[in-house]
């Protein structure tokens, strides 16, 4: 139920135009790429499922793909000034703070984007086992 409430809250409150939120709601800015690997509404509701599925495929089966890679999320959504998705008005922080949901991803993963990263087109295929990310 909490996940459903969180998804509804984000769906109603998120401003994906790149502008600051006016009043109530998180600030959501997209800094790289033309579009996400999934439609916006789908990502609002299911991003955690994609991240966990990617983790399981990578850690348990040795399959690495770029489509839902956590690194690619950070590379596209990190603020160009801070190179981070955390902090005040950060892409991840803004929604998670608004919804009072703890982010534990960054206890192991970096919240900084790769300075040499470039935006990639949405992934449309499947990678073979052992293929590079």
**pLDDT tens column, 115-131:** 765 555 454 555 444 54
pTM listed for this prediction: 0.63
- As a 3-state breakdown, the chain gives helix, strand, coil percent values, each rounded to 5, of 40, 0, 60
Report, as an integer, the average pLDDT of 69-78.
89
Q: Rg (Cα) of the chain, in Å, rounded? A: 15
Q: Quick check: 27 pLDDT over 50?
A: yes
């Amino acid at each position: 139920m909490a996940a459903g409430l969180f998804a509804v809250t984000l769906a109603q409150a998120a401003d994906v135009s790149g502008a600051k939120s006016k009043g109530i709601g998180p600030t959501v800015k997209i800094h790289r790429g033309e579009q996400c690997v999934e439609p916006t509404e789908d990502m609002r509701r299911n991003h955690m499922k994609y991240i966990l599925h990617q983790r399981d495929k990578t850690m348990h089966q040795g399959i690495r793909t770029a489509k839902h890679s956590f690194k690619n999320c950070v590379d596209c959504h990190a603020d160009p000034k801070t190179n981070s998705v955390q902090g005040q008005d950060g892409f991840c922080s803004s929604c998670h703070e608004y919804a009072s949901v703890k982010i534990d991803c960054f206890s192991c993963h970096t919240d900084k984007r790769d300075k040499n990263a470039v935006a990639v087109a949405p992934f449309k295929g499947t990678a073979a086992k052992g293929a590079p990310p």
